[in-house]
Amino acid sequence: MNAKDYFKGKKITLMGLGLLGRGIGDAKYMAEAGALELIITDLKPEKELASSVGELKRFKNIKFVLGEHRTEDFLNRDLIVVAAGVPLDSPYLKTAREAGIKLAQSAALFAELSGVPIIGITGTRGKSTVTHMIHHVLSFVTGEKVLLGGNIRGVSNLQLLNEVEEDSLCVMELDSWQLQGFDWAGISPQISIFTSFMEDHLNYYGRGGRSREEAMALYFTDKAQIFLNQEASDVLITTPTVFDWLKKVLPETTLTQEVVLADSSVLPEDMLLSMPGEHNRLNAALAYEALKATGLTDEEIFTGLASFPGVPGRLQLLLTTASGIRIYNDSNATTPQATIVALEALDLGNQNIILIAGGADKNIDVTKLAYEITKHCRQVFLIPGSGTDKLLEYIHGGEVGVSVLGNLTGATNEAMKGALSGDVILFSPGFASFSQYKNEYERNDEFVRIIQSYGE
């Protein structure tokens, strides 16, 4: 079946449009495929979504319901396409389920409709790096176009259907919300990588008064969809730590697929990577095991990994100044644990790190981050937010100098003023972006612009 035929003549509701481009692309694909009626509904008002709405106004088969959701838009439909972050207990999704209407996420729809082999990567930390490592090596070694989808900035998974060819292969970074869609579809990727599991998104999974333990179990169960529907011929690659979580949260699960537990010992000791830190050697080891499962040789894999340039926003060296100050962008560190990993990777043992951090709380414990800041940092500049307030309770008045600035520009300027030759300025927020920004990408782009102005 031609993928576009799937949407032709259907009444579809797209729940969540957003501003990142994915929802726009998905909506365009379904409208152009001949959807009879496409209702786009989003809790954000039209004013906030003006740029997205403007790109879709020309379609006669699109109707907008913005600033609210209505029960009627989830009844008498053929399909509900659900964006990331919709509450687990959404009454609108419950209405659709009870009416027997199919719920879908665009990443899982791509997997269903394309029929191409999928290499899927999830994990609290490391999934983006491992995804891009695998995609880079496959492209580098084969010289052919390898599809890249899932949780990729600006990439519409439905638009990706236009690029599918007979021998296509797709590497997909999959977050917990996209994996809900794989659960609904009853599918998993053929090669699955589960990089790590730590506290995150507890502001989402802890809704309704759930305990931390209950929230973590729900979060893990969503992540586990990356392998729970694999077939016996498929491969799961993970770590012993994640495997222990599986035994704890889903003790009755029987795995029939091949399971590979990875560690960094599979890499040559003298192998150099562009990204610092022992955690990135583990990321490379996970990528190695996945690439080996595709049939590549060790020589091909190691050569490809050595040429991998790194991922923007993940311990990315943005600038080394004339006075020897190194500035790293770790803007995708949205949890305290992620910032701890960055501090450990960059500390030379002399507390030469000036940290820029702060943002909105995700209901994650910050005490370990506070302790690691005292071990690794000389100075900390924080931007406002509920997470910042929480962290200040533990580090204010300590040995490390701490200042709260009104915005990222102010924090960066102060960090630059106080930096000495050999220092590292690290932007690793440790918290979510929504206290001051629409999303983490806007925060990333602002920091990059600020640093670029110093390099001019």
CATH number of domain containing 365? 3.90.190.20
Instruction: Output the CA torsion sign for 352, 363, 155, 46.
Output: negative
Do 118 and 98 sit in the same domain of this protein?
Answer: no
Distances (CA, A) of 356 to 10, 183, 383, 412, 414: 49, 38, 8, 7, 10
Do 253 and 113 sit in the same domain of this protein?
Answer: yes
Do 121 and 225 sit in the same domain of this protein?
Answer: yes
Asked if residue 256 belongs to a domain, the reply is yes
| CATH code (residue 55) | 3.40.50.720
Do 250 and 342 sit in the same domain of this protein?
Answer: no
Strand locations in 56-108 (E): 62-66, 79-82, 102-104
Asked if residue 58 belongs to a domain, the reply is yes
Do 27 and 168 sit in the same domain of this protein?
Answer: no
Query: What is the span of the domain harbouring residue 78?
Result: 3-104
Phi/psi at 372 (5° precision): -70, -30
Q: Does the pTM of the predicted model rise above 0.85?
A: yes
Do 130 and 237 sit in the same domain of this protein?
Answer: yes
Do 20 and 165 sit in the same domain of this protein?
Answer: no
Do 127 and 261 sit in the same domain of this protein?
Answer: yes
The per-residue b/e assignment along 328-345, b for 16 or more CB within 10 angstroms, e otherwise, is: bbbbbbbbbbbbbbbbeb
Do 216 and 121 sit in the same domain of this protein?
Answer: yes
| Total domain count, the chain | 3
Do 8 and 113 sit in the same domain of this protein?
Answer: no
Asked if residue 311 belongs to a domain, the reply is no
Task: Pull the structure tokens for residue 190.
Answer: 């053929």
Task: Pull the structure tokens for residue 265.
Answer: 């010992």
| CATH code (residue 244) | 3.40.1190.10
List the pLDDT tens digit at each of the 456 positions of the chain.
689 999 999 999 999 997 777 899 999 999 999 999 999 999 999 999 998 999 999 999 999 999 999 999 999 999 999 998 888 889 999 999 999 999 999 999 999 999 999 999 999 999 999 999 999 999 999 999 999 999 998 899 999 999 999 999 999 999 999 999 999 999 999 999 999 999 988 889 998 899 999 999 999 999 999 999 999 999 999 999 999 999 999 999 999 999 999 999 999 988 988 888 899 999 999 999 999 999 999 999 999 999 998 888 888 889 999 899 999 999 999 999 999 999 999 987 778 999 999 999 989 999 999 999 999 999 999 999 999 999 999 998 778 999 999 999 999 999 999 999 999 999 999 999 877 887 888 899 999 999 999 866
Of the three residues 104, 138, 162, the one that is the final residue of a domain is 104
Of the three residues 279, 306, 333, the one that is the final residue of a domain is 306
Do 116 and 203 sit in the same domain of this protein?
Answer: yes
Of the three residues 83, 104, 125, the one that is the final residue of a domain is 104
Do 401 and 352 sit in the same domain of this protein?
Answer: yes
Asked if residue 131 belongs to a domain, the reply is yes
